[in-house]
Structure 1
Amino acid sequence: MTTTLITGGNKGLGYETARRLAELGHRVVIGGRDADRVRQAAETLGVDGVTLDVTSDASVAAAAADLRVRFGGLDVLINNAGIAGMIGDLEKFDGPEVLSVLNTNTVGVVRTMHAFLPLLRESDAPVIVNVSSGLGSFGVRADESRVEHSVPSLGYSASKVALNMLTAMYAQFLPEVRINAVDPGWTATDLNGHSGPQTVTEGSDVIVALATAGATGTFSDRSGPLPW
Structure 2
Amino acid sequence: MINTIVTYDDIDGPLGNYFNKSYLHIDELKSQPNLSITGLSGCNCLENNISKIIPPVNQQNFVFVGLSHGAEDGFSLMGADNYVNVNNANLFLNSFFYSTACHIGKELSKILLSHGCKCFIGYTDVSEAPLNEEHEDLFIECELHALRNFYLTTSSIQVLYNEMIAFTDEKFIELANGNDILDAMALVRNRNCMIIVGDDANKQLTRLDFDV
Separation in 2 of the partners of 1:172 and 1:59? Answer: 21
Cα RMSD (Å):
4.3
Could you tell me which runs of 5 or more consecutive residues in structure 1 were left unpaired when the two chains were aligned.
35-51, 85-97, 133-159
Q: Which of residues 55, 62, 85 in structure 2 aligns to 1:110?
A: 85
Partner of 1:12: 21
Partner of 2:45: 53
Amino acid at match of 1:62: K
Query: What secondary structure sits across from 1:109 in the alignment?
Result: coil
1:169 aligns with 2:101: no
Deviation of 1:79 (Å) = 1.1
Given the superposition, is the C-alpha separation of residues 24 and 113 from structure 1 closer, same or farther in structure 2, using an over 3 Å criterion? farther
Secondary structure at 2:28 match in 1: helix
Q: Is the 8 A contact 1:32 1:53 kept in 2?
A: yes
How many aligned positions are there? 149
How far apart are 1:104 and its partner, in Å?
1.2
Equivalent residue number for residue 178 of structure 2: none
* Secondary structure, aligned partner of 1:13: helix
Q: Measure how far apart 1:53 and its partner are.
A: 2.1
Alpha carbons 2:92, 2:112 under 8 Å: kept: no
Q: Deviations over 1:51-70 (max 9, x none)?
A: x323xx323212335xx18x
Cα 1:227–1:206 change in 2 (3 A) is closer
Q: Quick check: 1:63 aligned with 2:53?
A: yes
- What does 1:130-209 correspond to in 2, within 5 Å? 130-132=99-101, 160-161=102-103, 163-170=104-111, 173=114, 177-181=118-122, 186-187=129-130, 195-200=132-137, 202-209=139-146
Determine the structure 2 residue equivalent to 1:147.
none
- Which AA in structure 2 matches 1:186? A
1:7 deviates by 0.3
Distance 1:111 1:16, change over 3 A: farther
Given the superposition, is the C-alpha separation of residues 176 and 32 from structure 1 closer, same or farther in structure 2, using an over 3 Å criterion? closer
Match of 2:129, SS state, is coil
Which residues of structure 2 form unaligned runs of 5+?
11-19, 151-155, 170-190, 195-212
Name the SS of the counterpart of 1:179 in structure 2.
strand
TM-score (norm 1): 0.48
The offset of 1:31, in angstroms, is: 0.8
The change in CA–CA distance for 1:74 and 1:176 in structure 2 (over 3 A counts) is closer
Cα distance in 2 for residues equivalent to 1:197 and 1:131: 19
207 and 24 in structure 1: CA distance in 2 versus 1, 3 angstrom threshold: farther
Match of 1:2 in 2: 2
Distance apart, 1:16 and its partner CA: 1.8
Residues 6 and 78 in structure 1, CA contact (< 8 A), matched pair in contact too: yes
Q: What CA distance in whole angstroms lies between the structure 2 residues aligned with 1:103 and 1:171? A: 12
Cα 1:176–1:104 change in 2 (3 A) is closer
- Aligned partner of 1:223: which letter? T
Partner of 2:66: 79
Deviation at 1:171, TM superposition (A): 6.9
Q: Which amino acid aligns with 2:2?
A: T
Contact 2:2 2:62 in 1 (8 A): yes
- Indicate the percent of aligned positions where both proteins have the same amino acid: 6
Question: Does 2:195 align with 1:226?
Answer: no
Note if contact 2:100-2:143 (Cα within 8 Å) is conserved in structure 1.
Answer: no
Instruction: Tell me: CA distance 1:112–1:59, structure 2 relative to 1, closer, same or farther (3 Å).
Output: farther
* CA-CA distance at 1:202 after TM superposition: 5.0
